[in-house]
Structure 1
Amino acid sequence: MAALLITILALPFAILGLVLALGAVASLVIALRAGAENPPAGPFVEVAGGRLATIQAGPADGPPVILLHGASANASDPMEGFGRRLAEKGFRVIAFDRPGFGWSDRIAGSEAAAPSVQARIIAEGLEKLGVGPAIVFGHSWAGALALALALDHPARVSSLVLAAPVAMPMPAQMLVLPWYWRLALQPPIAWLLSRTIGPPLAQSYLPETAKRVFQPQFEVPRYAEAVRAALVLRPGTLLANVQDLVGLPAALAAQSPRYGDLCVPTLVISGAADPIVRSETQAVPLAKAIPGARLVLLPGIGHMLHFVAAERLTDEIARFAGERREAAPLVRD
């Protein structure tokens, strides 16, 4: 009888162990396939603690534009969205895989979840490339990163373009998570899940997630393939993505009071119909917080404006850059 009771009690743990083991095997297969099908698409930059991966386009002597991608993405997202259009207009375009994403190392480990830490790493990468000051574009999560770069490393930034930015403190009700999410986000458990059942689950949700972020527009054809979306399914990237998202509210609470100190020309552009990052809670108050910032709201456009409104975004950046050049003081001998 005792043996039967022990067997019954042990059964759930045996099933859990089997699920985790199968998940680990599936995760390994998914990670290997994602890496093999999506190799590095550009040169690496050596920085302290590791390497940053880049994708570059345009003339080497063109005005530099730095592209920083949002959550769950990599450098291909902004580059394929509108970066190559900028390159055709004569800009030197450099898109970074943020630390832990794409093919960039997770330099500084979990501390890299802070936009300020990523800004330091990106600034070092720009120094190694001999680039700056540059126009810095940040989409969504990377809006906070672009702002941190301008605040802490102003010599690297000539102007800011913040697209659908996440930059303002979040309402308290958005920060309350169910108990099971809080448990899953604890570091040891998050690490375990990212290497077992996390990748297979993420893979199953990937198509629906892509459709959702494009709303109210339709997903562009072959989007996932073009932006190498499968790279986010690798365990290290999944964990980095969770760390970045969980750590962002505290980072914004600390960073946002400094926005009034910014002196860099800033363009804030957002889709007025963005259901992911609502302009009324982010773009609009952010533009008011930054002295002299210009706000552009695109009617009917959602979160992926760098794809669905790529031509308008490219024109806005080109015009913004032209205005900055015209406003630059003459240097006399």
Structure 2
Amino acid sequence: MNVLISGASIGGPVLAYWLREHGFDVTVVERAPAPRRGGQAIDIRGAALEVAARMGILEQARAMKTDMRGMSMVDGDGNELMRTTEETISGGRLDSPDIEIMRDDLTALVIAASGNGVEYLYGDSIAALNQDGQGVQVTFESGGPRRFDYVVGADGLHSNVRGLVFGAESQFIHHLGMYVAIYSADNFLDLDRWQVWHREGDAGFGLYTAPGNASIRVNIGFGGEDVAYDYRDVEQQKRLIQERCSGLGWETPRLLKAMWAADDFYFDAMAQIRMERWSEGRVTLVGDAGYCASPLSGQGTSLAMVGAYVLAQELSRDPQGAFDRYEARMRPFAELNQALALENPGQGAAPESVQRAANGIALD
């Protein structure tokens, strides 16, 4: 059997790995011309640690962890209001078994793990899908149809596959009232495995080092009602950040100047995807495409990794009814983790809630 996966971030390559292990032929199509650079620090927790271990990448991931020493909160003049060496906003408690790793580092790791047997098509996307009882006819934007037994959308919050099969995003997206941009900048503060956070009103930013300390990742954003924007128009998104965050104090002018020069800028709403079904015929969804919990949950990466593992396992057991079994196993886990983003808005879920959700599924 052959499977087409749309999306080459985390969930897509993890799914490709497990499908290949189970004997499937796998193709991954990715709109970006190459693996995407940049992105925030992300977390591998709970059941996802076991997925990483079974893939044989757990120790490599540990070697790539951000290894933060702590964090500070500062006021508009840069005066330190508090500091702790016990936890960070991005990664939680520093003495936990969780792995905080940069998104691009984990992406490179899982793509490499998926092996030479997986076909990656960069700089392309799916233009049309037509299903019948025996498979899916896929037309790519680059032209030329190909036929696959199954198609999986692992293509994020604004999933192309979801739009083609299930309809408009507006039916499924639930905004959480925040918008965040992430990009790289020089480490002009000479931070050493440290985070600094600042907030004024409904806007704020967090800065933390990437491994090696040569650069920092800037997380800057604002809260408020739904904002109309084109998620592919980077210039428009930068203008939004400039307009809504220029009133912040301390190092904001330098951060905004670095934003305009950044070539790995990312911006999006903090939102969740909630659907009654993740599958239709021979097409299904994995990770953010079907059950985005938002970065506010801290569990998007783990959901994608576990979802990919469970889906591949069910397809390998018996394709007949595999999608139904996948949903039955994953939906309680997804809902438990989505609830983390809503438990304590603006402050984050309690550590015990995070650990309970992260371990809220049994892997066969």
TM-score normalized by the length of structure 1: 0.34
Larger radius of gyration: 1
The answer to which structure has the higher helix fraction is: 1
TM-score normalized by the length of structure 2: 0.32
The answer to which structure has the higher strand fraction is: 2
